[in-house]
Amino acid sequence: MDDEKPVLEQMTDAMSSAAEATKEAAKTAVKKVRKAAKRVAKKVTPNKKAAKKSKTAKKAGKKSSAKKSAKKSAKKAVKKTAKKKKKAKKSKR
């Protein structure tokens, strides 16, 4: 750690960089899920049997839930860092 910067400032910098990293990881996960969903959508055509449609619908549902969870985790990470910054400000006083 730097001796020139106060410890609190170093910690806030570390927390904000961690938040950015988790946000980027969530974004890449969402992109991968979208690509996979597009591939499935291309493979499935409306002329297929109803049984196959239901199977693909289940798969698509699973992928959308993964997409939602990735978004939620990104939002939670941002909220946690905001709370930690507030606590850091309060302890600074």
pTM: 0.37
Distance in angstroms (rounded) separating the CA atoms of residues 85 and 90: 9
pLDDT band at 92 (very low <50, low <70, confident <90, very high): confident
| Amino acid in the structure at residue 38 | K
Structural contact between residues 26 and 73, judged by C-beta atoms closer than 8 angstroms: yes
Mind listing the pLDDT tens digit for each residue in 4-61? 888 888 899 999 999 999 999 999 999 999 999 988 888 875 655 555 555 555 555 5
Rounded Cα distance, 13 and 88, in Å: 12
